[in-house]
């Protein structure tokens, strides 16, 4: 069965997915001090949010839309392997869909709930009222952001990446280095999710941004490989230029995330 159209669609969605996340990240890093601002006090965060709300809200909406493209990627990758009934691929599909759903739920607080809290903070007549607003924003940030978006989201994303990488080892669709690199990145993303538990786990917080950025580079090269796959379902061979492109994309995006 000729699946070249599905491969091409997967590549296009991969480009859109990476584009949404990179553009959103760059805007938020410039206008909101992201991701460090997430660990600031509620008063500081809401004040910074209100100053640059006109750019922050669209950027977070773009990030939320990437949850939908993650769901689409989970479905398209599942279909591309063309192995109906595979327990591994069904588990990967479930994990990928959950990763996208958690991502949407985590990010959507910013375009809808946080503007209301920022308005209430600015209009609060007393220190006690500002304290109440800060408490509500802090709780929302910890639950919607840290619990749903980061902890559960990273657990699901890491699981999807590891399972898809295992499927790559078992299929001619991808050259084995994609599976090897993806499995390592998936494991690191999975581990980074435990930062949210605090205590000794806080030491692994440095992993999140560079590993997630490198993951985008890996995903993009997987999309490129899919776009070059022929109708027989056999992916292109992995040459020196493939390794160079993978290294440059992963390293470049990781370095950008750490700046």
Three-state DSSP class for residue 160:
helix
**Closest to 83 in 3D by CA, of 175, 177, 166:** 166
Whole-Å CA distances, 164 to 84, 159, 232, 255: 15, 8, 20, 25
- Judge contact between 64 and 17, C-beta under 8 A: no
What string of pLDDT tens digits covers the 259 residues of the chain?
557 788 889 999 999 999 999 999 999 999 999 888 888 899 999 999 999 999 999 999 999 999 999 999 999 999 988 777 789 999 999 999 999 999 999 999 999 999 999 999 999 989 999 999 999 999 999 999 999 999 999 999 999 999 999 999 988 889 888 999 999 999 999 999 998 887 777 777 777 888 888 899 899 999 988 888 887 777 677 765 566 666 665 666 656 655 5
pTM of the model: 0.91
Could you give the angle at which helices 240-258 and 4-32 cross, rounded to 10 degrees?
Answer: 30
DSSP 174: S
Tokens of 213: 């950025």
């Amino acid at each position: 069965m000729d699946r070249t159209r599905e491969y091409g669609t997967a590549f296009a969605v991969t480009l859109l997915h990476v584009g949404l996340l990179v553009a959103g990240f760059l805007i938020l890093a410039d206008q909101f001090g992201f991701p460090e601002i997430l660990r600031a006090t509620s008063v500081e965060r809401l004040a910074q949010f209100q100053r640059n709300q006109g750019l922050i809200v669209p950027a977070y909406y773009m990030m939320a839309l990437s949850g939908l493209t993650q769901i689409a990627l989970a479905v398209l990758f599942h279909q591309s392997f063309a192995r109906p009934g595979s327990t591994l691929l069904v588990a990967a599909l479930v994990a990928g869909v959950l990763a996208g759903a958690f991502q949407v739920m985590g990010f959507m607080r910013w375009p809808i709930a946080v503007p209301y809290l920022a308005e209430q903070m600015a209009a609060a007549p007393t220190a006690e009222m500002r304290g109440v607003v800060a408490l509500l924003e802090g709780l929302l940030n910890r639950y919607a952001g840290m619990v749903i978006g980061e902890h559960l989201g990273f657990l699901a994303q890491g699981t999807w990446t590891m399972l898809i990488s295992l499927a790559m080892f078992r299929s001619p669709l991808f050259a084995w280095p994609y599976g090897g690199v993806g499995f390592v990145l998936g494991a690191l993303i999975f581990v980074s999710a435990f930062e949210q538990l605090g205590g000794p786990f806080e030491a692994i917080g440095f992993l999140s941004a560079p590993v997630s950025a490198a993951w985008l580079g890996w995903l993009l090269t997987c999309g490129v490989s899919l776009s070059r796959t022929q109708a027989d379902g056999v992916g292109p061979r992995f040459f020196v230029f493939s390794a160079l492109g993978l290294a440059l994309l992963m390293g470049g995006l990781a370095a950008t995330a750490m700046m």
